[in-house]
Amino acid sequence: MADKKRVGVLISGRGSNMMALVEASRAADCPYAIALVASDKPEAAGLAWAQSQGLETFALSPKGLGKPAYEAAIDAALREAGVEVVALAGYMRLLSDGLVAAWRDRIVNIHPSLLPKYKGLDTHARAIKAGDAVGGCSVHVVTEELDGGVVLSQAEVPILPGDDADSLAERVLAAEHALYPKTLAEFVTR
């Protein structure tokens, strides 16, 4: 791990994008290594998977802590693990302006739409309702503006006749798993 960028991945659920990042990191020529997988949900399935892979994990529920105390604990865990870049992978909490500033230009996120379209939630249903021909995903730098940072890469996924939010989400997720590791590798070597 010495010659690779140390990445901390934040998750809230099953962690499928985290798994894609971990799998890619195992290639000899990958420029990053996963130093920590952290979650706001101690019961997250992705954490159990990360532990089964021998990865360092950190879990803390924010309930009863307040955002500043919770984020201070996450920040401390990332720094203790020597993390240099943070990858959000299905992390369903908004980061405070303070945490974003502390990691300025070192946090990336995968978002299930072709930004700047459909920031926030329910992206697939919104794309279908709008009559879009394509949906997709974007990897972007995290800023204080929700889903508003510089877009690093995108992948388009056709919206098929009869698609609903779930069927489109399934195909977009497959595109995310291909796009995120490649983009993260480019990001850490820029």
Catalytically active residues, by annotation = 111
- For 151, residues 6+ apart whose C-beta sits below 8 A from its C-beta are 115, 116, 138, 139, 140
Residue 17, marked binder: yes
Q: Quick one: angle between helices 165-188 and 16-25, nearest 10?
A: 30
Residue 14, marked binder: no
Residue 1, marked binder: no
Residue 19, marked binder: no
Residue 173: Cβ-neighbour burial (10 angstroms; 0-12, 13-18, 19+)? middle
**Secondary structure string (H, E, C) spanning 121-165:** CCHHHHHHHCCCCEEEEEEEECCCCCCCCCEEEEEEEECCCCCCH
Residue 61, marked binder: no
Pair type for strands 57-59 and 85-88:
unpaired
Two structure tokens written together for 153: 């890469």
Residue 6, marked binder: no
Residue 67, marked binder: yes
Measured in whole angstroms, the distance separating CA 54 from the mean position of its chain's CA atoms is 20
Annotated binding site: 15-17, 67, 92-95, 109
Residues marked as binding for (6R)-10-formyltetrahydrofolate? 67, 92-95, 109
